[in-house]
C-alpha cells in the first residue's frame, strides 16, 4: 500500500513539469495556431521553408522595457525582417494576469512600441503556445530554420541586467545566430538561459 501511495504522489508531482514542454535546438519546432491582434491566424505551417523568430512579450516587464525602450528589439526586428526573416511576438499572459491585452489594446501597444514584426501580436491567452515552447520569461527567444527545426532558444543576449545601458556591451545571441545561419556558418551558441519576468500563465 505504501508503494502505491508513493507512486501516486510521484505521478501527481510530475504533472506540472509535463505541462511545460521545451523547444530544444536541433529538434522539430512545436506546431502552433494562434490568432493575432488583427484577427489573422498564424500557424507554424504558414512559415514552412522560411526563417522564423518567435519572441515572448509583456509590456509591463522591465526586461521587455529594457529592449523596447532602448529601441534594441525594434532594431533587430527591422534588420532581420528586411532580410525576409519572419518575426512573431507572442503574449501568453492569461486574462487577469500582468501583461494580458485585449486585441484593441494589443494594437495600440504594437503602434506605441513601433513593432516591426510579421504580426502585431499573437494573443496566446490560454498559454498553449507558450507551454508548447517552454517559454519561461519575457523576453524568451526562439529561432526556427526553413526545415522547421529550432536552431536557437534562450535569452536575447548575455547580460541579464534590466538596465538598458548594458546593451552596447552585451553579446546578442539572436543576432549572432541569425548572422551565422544566413552566412551558412554554424551557430556558436544555440541555447542559453532565458532571463526576464516569468510568463504569466
| Cell numbers standing for residue 164 | 538598458
Residue 73 lies in a domain: yes
Residue 7 lies in a domain: no
Task: Tell me which residue range forms the domain holding 135.
Answer: 20-198
Mean pLDDT taken over the chain: 90
Strands 122-123 and 141-144: unpaired
Residue 11 lies in a domain: no
Distance CA 196, CA 171 (A): 16
Q: Which residue has the cell 494589443?
A: 106
Distance CA 91, CA 59 (A): 9
15-66, pLDDT tens digit by residue?
333 345 678 999 999 999 999 999 999 999 999 999 999 999 999 999 999 9
Task: Return phi, psi of residue 68, to 5°.
Answer: -90, -40
Contacts of residues 44-47 at CB distance under 8 Å and 24 or more positions apart, as own/partner, are 44/144, 44/148, 47/86, 47/144
Residue 174 lies in a domain: yes
DSSP state of 117: S
The Cβ of residue 78 has, within 10 Å, a number of other Cβ atoms equal to 14
Residue 12 lies in a domain: no
Residue 6 lies in a domain: no
Residue 48 lies in a domain: yes
How many domains is the chain partitioned into structurally?
1
pLDDT of the residue at 159: 97
User: What radius of gyration, in Å, describes the C-alpha atoms of the chain?
Assistant: 17
Strands 122-123 and 137-138: unpaired
> How distant, in Å, are the alpha carbons of 21, 31, 121, 160, 178 from that of 153?
13, 16, 19, 15, 12
Residue 3 lies in a domain: no
| Cell numbers standing for residue 101 | 491585452
CATH number of the domain bearing residue 170: 3.40.30.10
In tens digits, the chain (201 residues) has pLDDT values of 444 434 433 333 333 333 456 789 999 999 999 999 999 999 999 999 999 999 999 999 999 999 999 999 999 999 999 999 999 999 999 999 999 999 999 999 999 998 866 778 999 999 999 999 999 999 999 999 999 999 999 999 999 999 999 999 999 999 999 999 999 999 999 999 999 999 999
- What does the CA dihedral 27, 61, 59, 52 come to, rounded to 10 degrees? -20
pTM here? Answer: 0.88
pLDDT of the residue at 118: 72
CB 161 within 8 A of CB 103: no
Amino acid at each position: 500500500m505504501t508503494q502505491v501511495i508513493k507512486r501516486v504522489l510521484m505521478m501527481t508531482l510530475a504533472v506540472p513539469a509535463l505541462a511545460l514542454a521545451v523547444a530544444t535546438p536541433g529538434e522539430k519546432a512545436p506546431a502552433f495556431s494562434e490568432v493575432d491582434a488583427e484577427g489573422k491566424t498564424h500557424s507554424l505551417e504558414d512559415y514552412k521553408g522560411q526563417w522564423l523568430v518567435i519572441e515572448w512579450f509583456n509590456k509591463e516587464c522591465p526586461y521587455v522595457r529594457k529592449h523596447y525602450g532602448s529601441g534594441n528589439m525594434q532594431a533587430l526586428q527591422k534588420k532581420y525582417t528586411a532580410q525576409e526573416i519572419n518575426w512573431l511576438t507572442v503574449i501568453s499572459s492569461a486574462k487577469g494576469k500582468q501583461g494580458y491585452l485585449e486585441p484593441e489594446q494589443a494594437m495600440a501597444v504594437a503602434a506605441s512600441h513601433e513593432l516591426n514584426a510579421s504580426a502585431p501580436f499573437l494573443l496566446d491567452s490560454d498559454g498553449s503556445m507558450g507551454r508548447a515552447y517552454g517559454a519561461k520569461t519575457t523576453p524568451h527567444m526562439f529561432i526556427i530554420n526553413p526545415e522547421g527545426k529550432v536552431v536557437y532558444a534562450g535569452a536575447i543576449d548575455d547580460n541579464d541586467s534590466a538596465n538598458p545601458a548594458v546593451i552596447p556591451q552585451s553579446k546578442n545571441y539572436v543576432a549572432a545566430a541569425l548572422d551565422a545561419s544566413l552566412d551558412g556558418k554554424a551557430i556558436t551558441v544555440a541555447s542559453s538561459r532565458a532571463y526576464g519576468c516569468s510568463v504569466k500563465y
